[in-house]
Amino acid sequence: MHLLMNCLAAWQQQARAVLLVGLCAGGSLAAARAQGAPTVAAARPPRAYTRAAHLMGSHFTFTAVSSDDSLAWRALRAGMRETGRIDRLFSYWDSTSQVVKINRMAGIRPVVVDQEVYDLIARTLKISQLSGGAFDITFASGDKIYQFDKTEHASLPDSATVRNSVRRIGWQKVRLDPAVHSVYLPEKGMRINLAGILQGYGVRRASEIMKKMGIAGGLLNGSGDVYCWGKQADGSGWRIAIGDPARPQSVSSWLTVSDMAVVTAGNYEQYFTVAGKYYGHIINPHTGYPATGLRSVTIICPDVELADALDDAVFVLGPQVGLAMINRLKGVDATVITDDGQTLVSKGMQLNSYHSAAAATVAKTPVTR
């Protein structure tokens, strides 16, 4: 428990406003005008401003609530620029990125990286420890033996092929040197990929910049990694919908939040089937097989970066063990949808289910592996 809380502590760092003018105030204003006194223009009501872009290989939508048009657009541009900068810095594909440099030097020598890169990698390793390796950025070391083409496959690869595919995976192998902030992958063929946390990190950094610029309310959505703060322009909270894996483009449940991240991972967009059983793109780094048992995982907590990593971890751990882990973390909640369509929630989760969705069941009993 102490380890779990210490690990979590590392992270624990649209619409109108209505202006009511009474009769008395109206009379005072008329009197002031009659006397030639200067008048103050009424404050403009806040509005929602939205900008979209393709970043990190995904669709991002940023919304800022402000009564200042110029400020809103400047903040949106700044947030998008920051997300693009992070994409280039940590890209798994861009030959100039520091992640690519680390991977190229695997089994050869350590690579000195920017403090920002070092720190994010260090945080991912803490989540690996927290989750027992269910979240592991060295998953990129695995061989690509599956094709997630949404079709029926005759069978899974043979067991020997699967075992061999994960032989180089292991977060414990990553060597960090805090003195020079270097990263070393000790085996040739090892690779890291921060895709499981990068969108959350990009959204977090963008929101921090926009807040500093004076945006008191906003919602940033990086392909399902959502973070919102403040209020909508009408003063209400942000309503976030959770998709229904069994009925694409429909909603299974929703919740109203503010100053909170809502991050969802699902296996219903990238998958294949064998004998009618779904196998999604999230691989269990321990076994090499696609994680099974869940169709969707949604994490709710104040830190979108942390939530982005935890959804994959819960997916790998499965409904019982995954929710047991969430139940041990302060300020973190989750809802999951199982392969058979059940909706389960962590003990602190307040979820609004649509009539078409099955009633949520609270998973209260900790389960250990």
Mapped onto helix, strand or coil, the DSSP state of residue 246 is coil
Mapped onto helix, strand or coil, the DSSP state of residue 333 is strand
Which class for 342: exposed (0-12), middle (13-18), buried (19 or more C-beta within 10 A)?
middle
**Beta pairing class for 58-66 and 217-222:** antiparallel
CA-based torsion, 175, 9, 11, 168: positive or negative? positive
**What is residue 302's DSSP assignment?**
S
Which pair of structure tokens corresponds to residue 172?
């414990």
CA-based torsion, 314, 160, 167, 188: positive or negative? negative
Which pair of structure tokens corresponds to residue 87?
């994409």
Element (H, E) at 64: strand 58-66
b/e burial code for range 306-336 (CB count within 10 A of at least 16 → b): bbbbbbbbbbbbbbbbbbbbbbebeebbbbb
- Number of Cβ atoms within 10 Å of the Cβ of 368: 7
User: What is the distance between the alpha carbons of residues 118 and 240, in angstroms, rounded to a whole number?
Assistant: 33
**What is residue 283's DSSP assignment?**
B
C-alpha closest to that of 257 among 276, 297, 230, 293: 230
Which residue type sits at 240?
Answer: I
Which residue type sits at 123?
Answer: R
User: What is the distance between the alpha carbons of residues 16 and 303, in angstroms, rounded to a whole number?
Assistant: 27
Q: Is 308 annotated as a binding residue?
A: yes
User: What is the distance between the alpha carbons of residues 98 and 350, in angstroms, rounded to a whole number?
Assistant: 41
User: What is the distance between the alpha carbons of residues 72 and 90, in angstroms, rounded to a whole number?
Assistant: 27
**Beta pairing class for 361-362 and 352-353:** unpaired
Residues making up the binding site: 196, 308
Residues making up the binding site for Mg(2+): 196, 308
